[in-house]
Amino acid sequence: MRAKLKIQGPALATVAIAALITGMMAAPVVANVTDKDVLNDQSTTGDVVSNGLGPRGQRYSPLKQVNTETVKSLSPKWAFSFGGEKQRGQESQPVVKDGVMYVTSSYSRIYAIDVRTGEELWQYDARLPDGIMPCCDVVNRGAALYDDLVIFGTLDAKLVALDIKTGKPRWKKTLGDYQAGYSYTAAPLIVKGMVVTGVSGGEFGIVGKVEARNAKNGELVWMRPTVEGHMGFLNGKENGITGGKANKTWPGDMWKNGGAATWLGGTYDPDTDRIFIGTGNPAPWNSHLRPGDNLYSTSRLAIDPDTGKIDWHFQTTPHDGWDYDGVNELISFDYTENGKTVKAAATADRNGFFYVLNRTNGKFIRGFPFVKNITWAKGLDKNGAPIFDPSNRPGDPKKMKKGESVFAVPSFLGGKNWMPMGYSQQTGLFYVPSNEWGMEIWNEPTAYKKGAAYLGAGFTIKPIFDDHIGALKAIDPKTGKVVWEYENPAPLWGGVLATAGNLVFMGNPEGYLMAFNAKTGEIEYKFNTGSGVVSSPITWEQDGEQFVTVVSGWGGAVPLWGGEVAKLVKNLNQGGSVWTFKLPK
């Protein structure tokens, strides 16, 4: 049996420490997590120490004990409940080190769990103030491990580092003013001993930025804003603006509250020594108020981790008028063409197009639609810029209360939203959780006010097919071909995991954890977790056995913003639990 000791921490968070009684299995011994551990995460099978199973974010594991032949016998080992009434959306990807799992949950909570038994070792609840303004549910997407710390962000825009053994706070830093709309929901990224973070809050007219801090003590190393005109910092000193004069690509003073939030976090490519991070929509949504490209909104940025300098950028939706953002993960991968290795990176954008870039310089290699019936653009030009269809931009309201509405595909929730895709080194395919939907959208007059929504638009989301919204697609990045597709009735809102067992794991809002044949798309396994899955599965090896874990708990942006789609999923039950599976011995 276990004994629990309640400790009142400085943040009034309760930390529960579990101790094993004599005669039972010894508690896991926690070793420090090093930069080498993070860099090798994809190839080391005994742990998962980073979001994305490695800094490149490929979400691929070389494990194959669970494969297309054995997966049918996959069974639950244990389930852990987050408990309480704070359920809502559970979008966390757990991390695992030395027999302990660290998993975040809604309302900025985090738990340490013994992976052998599913028992809680400690719990930390952030003390959130009144008046937080999370845009799209009270979610948290995961933690980072470094040294003897577990680091995660909170809804009031704090970054908290906890002792990995006890859950006691070691340092805490503020990322932004929550009363102005700043928040933080992403999983931090570890690069060269630094913890790299973005910020959320683009719908409130905040200014996006990327920060790098010493992971051991939280001290700021550099800060890079993502809107022209704002000052960056290096080693505590101002080091110039973000690459252009104020209002160079913004009219008047619109840059001062320009959005471009970095709310999904980033990836890191050791080959080029660059951080890849995406930026959100320019503010406000009403694009008629801010003619121009509005840099660096809706872009992928390559940032020098030593200085915070933007090495290159690629903008997917210049002058965004549909809230398509550009935050989706940019995943590094190599492929061979004409006998030469191409150092590429790929992203599936909210705007419905899939892009392949040269990751050494950001040059466009190819792009193609990955969802159907796109209306806002007629295609991409030779440089990857969208060919706009002027008739499908929401109308200018001018002095009217409402401008002319248009039906745009995809909806602002995107052909793919936050839910990360995966890349299989075995098949060479990307597995993209996507959605087929559109929206009625119109513009309205608006003005910036601190702490208030800064949209200038209205919308209603609608399905475009009768039988499905969600679609998991296996895409060949060299040709744009959809090799196979699985259609799901409800929208997909969780990430994927590819393995060398020729499997792709994904959950759906109907509650199932599913395993697909990576080559054919055939469903090899499914298990109902009791609530919708909007998280990203992981796999690792413990005591010679392969484990698979997924967090279950319906929520996220769809039931909050989904219009007619939200009505279709209103009967889905909320939850909050961690399910861990393995094969029988």
The encoded tokens of residue 194 equal 């630094």
Rounded Cα distance, 530 and 581, in Å: 15
Residue of 59, 44, 10, 38 whose CA lies nearest to 329: 59
Q: Residue 197: pLDDT above 90?
A: yes
**End-to-end C-alpha distance for the chain, whole angstroms:** 24
Rounded Cα distance, 92 and 102, in Å: 10
Q: What is the pLDDT of residue 243?
A: 66
- The string of pLDDT tens digits covering residues 567-581 is 888 889 889 999 999
Mean pLDDT, rounded, of the chain: 93
Please say if 323 is a catalytic residue.
yes
Residue of 460, 324, 318 whose CA lies nearest to 402: 460
Q: What is the pLDDT of residue 87?
A: 82
Rounded Cα distance, 283 and 484, in Å: 37
Q: What is the pLDDT of residue 473?
A: 98
Rounded Cα distance, 520 and 160, in Å: 43
Rounded Cα distance, 533 and 554, in Å: 6
- The string of pLDDT tens digits covering residues 309-328 is 999 999 999 999 999 999 99
Where does the pLDDT of residue 30 fall: very low under 50, low under 70, confident under 90, or very high at 90 and above?
Answer: low
- The string of pLDDT tens digits covering residues 389-398 is 999 999 999 8
All domains of the chain in start order, with CATH: 2-582 (2.140.10.10)
Region for residue 570 given its phi and psi (left: phi exceeds 0; alpha: psi -120 to 50; beta: otherwise): alpha
- Using DSSP's 3-state secondary structure scheme, residue 559 falls into helix
Mean local confidence (pLDDT), 336-341: 94
Where does the pLDDT of residue 46 fall: very low under 50, low under 70, confident under 90, or very high at 90 and above?
Answer: very high
Single out the catalytic residue among 323, 396, 476, 543. Answer: 323
Rounded Cα distance, 353 and 384, in Å: 10
pTM over the 0.85 mark: yes
Place of tokens 């499914």: 526
State the sign of the Cα–Cα–Cα–Cα dihedral 480, 483, 489, 492. Answer: negative
Q: Residue 499: pLDDT above 90?
A: yes
Name the E strands within 436-544: 437-443, 457-463, 470-475, 482-488, 496-499, 503-507, 512-517, 523-528, 538-542
- The string of pLDDT tens digits covering residues 281-304 is 999 999 999 999 999 999 999 999
Percentage of the chain lying above the pLDDT 70 cut: 94
Neighbours of 398 (CB within 10 A): 9
